[in-house]
């Protein structure tokens, strides 16, 4: 048997419990058979297994579960990926059907596993429903505007630099600049900084707090067009030309959207779990672990499991980059939660 077949079979066995769970749920619905009706508007029948329809949405859901596509991403029914995942879905249905014929679902261990899978599915559906209602366009825009009002904008500087290995060479270049020589040309010819040399010494826009102290000290009061230096830095001497000064530009709503959705999602999940735990009577029947001498200790500053990520600072560069989920977070933010 080919290696790909083993992989496909492994995935099929890994999801068989979920398939069986869905079979049990359907069987409990008064014997109604809605399999031939599209489960989603515009859904397409793509295969049949013993007269039971496989829908395009079934295949797409499996592709999302395997991490082959993201939630909300399209999956062309004519693509090789779709056909490969469709074959896996068919295999899952065949395996689940055979398991039911052999009455494996009647085994007590199997029933506990099916019940656990059912609880996971229902829990995920509750979270998706809660998030879908709360994480909408108004909430996203509201948090964005709130952050814009609270944020403090720093000043950005656009500058170019020439880095020389010695003060003598730096003074010589400074004299050439004084005679009208091109700063960009001298940077390309003389600078030893490989990161900026070949683009004319361009440092782009930056705030001085992210630069080494020598830059902050020398550029703090520099005016646009002024050439500053030479001043000593790590690895040599720098001559810097200030090209522009401006207020730091806030990140756009679209760039910040992924971070905002993520924050709002975890905020909703945290609140939901806190409410459920507050209403329920939860007892832990096992003893707390004893301290072992020499074992690593969790720092006192570690966040609680349900604390969620901090509110994003939308005006800082890179604010829209995804943050790791908080400990214990049950889901990734579903893309369908955002309603235009």
The DSSP-derived string for 184-228 is HHHHHHH---TTTGGGTTEEEEE-GGGS-HHHHHHHTTPPTT-EE
| Amino acid 25: pLDDT | 40
User: What is the pTM (predicted TM-score) of this model?
Assistant: 0.49
| Amino acid 98: pLDDT | 93
Nearest-angstrom CA–CA distance, 214 and 175: 21
Q: Residue ranges per domain, the chain?
A: 3-106, 111-151+250-278+305-340, 155-247
283-330, pLDDT tens digit by residue? 888 887 777 666 666 555 444 444 444 555 544 544 443 333 333 333
| Amino acid 316: pLDDT | 54
| Amino acid 247: pLDDT | 83
Query: Which spans in the chain are helix H?
Result: 3-27, 56-65, 80-101, 108-134, 137-150, 167-178, 183-190, 213-219, 253-279
* Contact in structure between 313 and 333 (CB atoms under 8 Å): no
* Contact in structure between 307 and 326 (CB atoms under 8 Å): yes
All residue ranges of the chain with pLDDT < 50 are: 1-35, 301-309, 314-315, 317-340
Nearest-angstrom CA–CA distance, 245 and 295: 52
| Amino acid 54: pLDDT | 93
Nearest-angstrom CA–CA distance, 184 and 69: 45
Which one of 3.30.1490.100, 3.10.50.40, 3.90.420.10, 3.40.1190.20 gives the CATH number of domain 155-247?
3.10.50.40
């Amino acid at each position: 048997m080919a290696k790909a077949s083993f992989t496909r079979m492994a995935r099929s066995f890994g999801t068989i419990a979920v398939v069986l769970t869905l079979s049990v749920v359907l069987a409990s619905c008064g014997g109604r058979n809605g399999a031939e009706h599209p489960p989603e508007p515009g859904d397409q029948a793509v295969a049949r297994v013993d007269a039971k329809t496989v829908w395009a949405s079934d295949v797409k859901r499996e592709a999302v579960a395997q991490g082959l596509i993201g939630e909300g991403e399209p999956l062309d029914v004519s693509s090789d990926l779709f056909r490969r995942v469709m074959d896996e879905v068919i295999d899952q249905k065949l395996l689940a059907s055979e398991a039911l014929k052999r009455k494996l679902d009647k085994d007590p261990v199997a029933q506990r596993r099916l019940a656990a899978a059912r609880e996971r599915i229902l829990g995920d559906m509750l979270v998706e429903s809660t998030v879908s209602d709360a994480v909408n366009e108004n909430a996203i825009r509201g948090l964005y505007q709130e952050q814009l009002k609270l944020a403090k904008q720093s000043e950005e500087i656009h500058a170019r630099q020439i880095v020389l290995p010695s003060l003598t060479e730096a003074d010589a270049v400074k004299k050439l600049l004084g005679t009208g020589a091109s700063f960009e040309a001298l940077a390309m010819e003389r600078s030893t900084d490989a990161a900026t040399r070949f683009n004319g010494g361009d440092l782009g826009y930056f705030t001085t707090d992210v630069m080494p102290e020598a830059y902050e000290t020398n550029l703090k009061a520099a005016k646009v067009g002024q050439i500053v230096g030479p001043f000593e830095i790590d690895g040599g001497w720098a001559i810097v030309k200030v090209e522009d000064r401006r207020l730091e530009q806030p990140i756009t709503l679209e760039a910040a959207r992924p971070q905002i959705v993520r924050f709002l999602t975890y905020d909703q999940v945290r609140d939901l779990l806190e409410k459920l735990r507050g209403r329920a009577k939860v007892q832990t029947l096992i003893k707390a672990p004893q301290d072992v001498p020499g074992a690593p200790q969790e720092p006192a500053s570690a966040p609680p499991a349900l604390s969620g990520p901090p509110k994003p600072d939308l005006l800082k560069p890179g604010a829209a980059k995804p943050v790791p989920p908080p400990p214990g977070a049950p889901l990734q933010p579903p893309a369908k939660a955002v309603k235009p």
